């Protein structure tokens, strides 16, 4: 690449002690479909001691090395060196499928307000990886308009790992940029979920999610989601044996949240931006349609990260929620805002009039929907089917009725 020529695309990734994996990823970038002159590769090495810097030096245009591990958010330092009009975040084990980068560029050229274009993320076993909220991309495959990314301050490296995608998505949309997740952009991610979730992940999950709430959610939603997410991540920590890390992360997240509640007071999300991510009004309208169809008693399937939207909508529609059915979270005496959290089998045994997928993640919710279709005779409603989506567009099934087609999609895995 000529030193005086600005490439259209800058690939930015961070790595730590995964020499063979990152070398293979860099080799695969040659098959992205662009001429080699039209992209640059920026690698941020997080204090690797396995020879990674030497191995990637000749395979990258810019190599940034640190003496400490700055986590996945070390990509923030790569942004500062990126020359491309568009910046693509990858993990050290993810790579775009041929043609996706060219289509991404066309997306940006067609929409001058598009700030970020999220990719559909594919795992080796056929499942997909997706965010818990609509309008939030997955960090292992997303392209940015360089102008937009830098205008909002780039990636916040203080997150280290976990929830940084929410922080960046919220800032972009809050600043007036569009964030979309597109089904014609594809990235393969070699991530496996067979390993036990680490205590470090548990720590950063709750720490950073509490910071997100403090930074961006106005009252009364700050209190609502802080309660919900503390409960949800606490149950996950119990399942994984990481209660101590959860408590440490909660303590740190609360302290940092107190400071960031003030320093980020100008970044509080507006009503329209909140609706883009949490979809309270949208879910409320769909729940009213369920009520109009004659349903009075329902089960919510999945204790999704945005379960409050469904709980509130049912309450407002005067619909009784018999239970939340979720095999991951069920346990003796567990309740969500007074509603028992049961196994899916026990919840369905209460004979509801309808089952609502209580998960606003298109990927995860559709997985639950497909499994429920094989188990129940009642109507199953899922309102966040995979689709291209941007702010202002209604996300979900094309009609308020339950999805009628019996199609199957790959199972989902949380990021």
Consecutive sets of 10 residues in the chain, 415 residues long: mean pLDDT of each?
A: 73 97 97 96 97 97 96 96 97 97 98 98 94 95 98 97 98 97 96 67 98 97 98 97 98 98 96 96 98 98 98 98 98 97 98 98 94 94 70 35 30 38
On whether both 174 and 313 belong to a single domain, the answer is no
Nearest to 390 by CA among 130, 151, 181, 132: 181
**Both tokens of residue 305?**
């990260």
* Residues 61 and 132 occupy one common structural domain: yes
The pLDDT score that the predictor gives to residue 191 is: 82
In a domain, 73, yes or no: yes
Q: Kind of pairing, strands 354-357 and 297-301?
A: parallel
Assigned token pair, 271? 């009503």
Is 131 inside any structural domain?
yes
Does residue 2 belong to any structural domain of this protein? no
Q: Looking at the structure, tell me whether residues 223 and 130 fall in a common domain.
A: no
| 49 Cα distance to chain centroid | 31
Nearby residues of 40 by Cβ (< 8 Å), 6 or more positions away: 1, 7, 9, 10, 11, 61, 62, 82, 83, 84
CATH number of 123's domain: 3.90.550.10
Identify whether residues 44 and 184 lie together within a single domain: yes
Identify the bridge partners of residue 87 per DSSP, sorted by sequence position.
10, 144
- Quote the number of domains for the chain: 3
Last residue of some domain: 270, 305, 325? 270
Distance of CA 136 to the CA centre of its chain: 5
pLDDT at 4: 58
Please report, for residues 90, 260, 304, 408, the alpha-carbon distance to residue 123 in angstroms, rounded to integers and kept in the order given. 14, 35, 21, 16
Element holding 183 (H helix, E strand): strand 178-189
Residues 220, 308, single domain; the answer is no
Give the range of the structural domain holding residue 322, as residue numbers without chain letter.
Answer: 279-409
Which residues make Cβ contacts (< 8 Å) with residue 233, sequence separation at least 6? 202, 205, 206, 209, 246
Cis bond before residue 363 (omega within 30° of 0): no
The verdict on 304 and 248 lying in the same domain is no
Same-domain status, 171 and 320: no
Question: What's the confidence (pLDDT) of residue 197?
Answer: 74
Last residue of a domain, one of 237, 270, 303: 270
* Cα three-residue angle 389-392-395, rounded to 5 degrees: 45
Collapsing DSSP states into helix, strand and coil, what is residue 221? Answer: helix
Are residue 324 and residue 367 in the same domain, yes or no? yes
Q: What angle is formed at CA 340 by the lines to CA 301 and CA 375, rounded to 5 degrees?
A: 30
Q: Which two tokens mark 37?
A: 């002159």
- 330 & 259 share domain: no
For residue 3, tell me if it sits in a domain.
no
Q: Which of 248, 270, 292 is the last residue before a domain boundary? A: 270
Q: How far apart are CA 346 and CA 365, in angstroms?
A: 20
CA 227, 230, 234, 235 dihedral sign is: positive
* pTM, entire model: 0.91
């Amino acid at each position: 690449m000529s030193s005086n020529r600005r490439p259209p695309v800058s690939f930015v990734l961070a790595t730590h002690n995964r020499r063979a994996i990152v070398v293979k990823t860099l080799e695969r970038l040659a098959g992205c479909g662009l001429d080699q002159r039209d992209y640059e590769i920026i690698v941020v090495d997080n204090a690797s001691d396995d020879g990674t810097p030497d191995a990637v030096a000749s395979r990258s245009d810019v190599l940034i090395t640190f003496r400490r591990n700055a986590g996945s958010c070390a990509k923030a330092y790569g942004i500062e060196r990126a020359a491309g009009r568009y910046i693509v975040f990858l993990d050290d084990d993810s790579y775009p499928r041929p043609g996706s980068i060219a289509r991404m560029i066309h997306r940006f050229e067609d929409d001058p307000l598009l700030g970020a274009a999220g990719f559909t993320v594919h795992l080796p076993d056929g499942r997909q990886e997706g965010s818990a909220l609509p309008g939030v991309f997955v960090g292992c495959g997303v392209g940015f308009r360089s102008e937009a990314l830098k205008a909002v301050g780039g990636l916040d490296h203080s997150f280290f790992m976990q929830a940084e995608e929410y922080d960046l998505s919220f800032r972009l949309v809050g600043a007036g940029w569009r964030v979309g997740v597109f089904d014609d952009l594809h990235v393969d991610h070699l991530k496996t979920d067979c390993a036990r979730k680490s205590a470090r992940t548990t720590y950063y999950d709750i720490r950073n999610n509490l910071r997100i709430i403090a930074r961006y959610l106005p009252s009364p939603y700050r209190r609502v989601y802080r309660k919900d997410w503390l409960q949800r991540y606490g149950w996950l920590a119990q399942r994984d044996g990481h209660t101590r890390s959860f408590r440490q992360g909660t303590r740190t997240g609360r302290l940092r949240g107190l400071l960031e509640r003030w320093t980020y007071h100008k970044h509080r999300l507006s009503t329209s931006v909140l609706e883009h991510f949490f979809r309270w009004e949208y879910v409320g309208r769909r729940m009213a349609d369920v009520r109009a169809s004659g349903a009075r008693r329902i089960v919510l399937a999945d204790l999704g990260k945005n379960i409050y939207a469904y709980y509130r909508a049912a309450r407002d529609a005067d619909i009784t929620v018999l239970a939340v059915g979720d095999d991951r979270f069920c346990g003796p005496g567990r309740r969500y805002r007074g509603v028992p959290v049961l196994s899916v089998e026990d919840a369905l045994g209460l004979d509801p009039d309808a089952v609502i997928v209580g998960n606003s993640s298109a990927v995860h919710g559709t997985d639950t929907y497909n499994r429920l279709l094989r188990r129940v005779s009642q109507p199953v409603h899922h309102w966040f089917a995979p689709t291209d989506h941007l702010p202002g567009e209604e996300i979900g099934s094309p009609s308020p009725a339950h999805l009628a087609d019996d199609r199957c999609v790959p199972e989902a895995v949380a990021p």
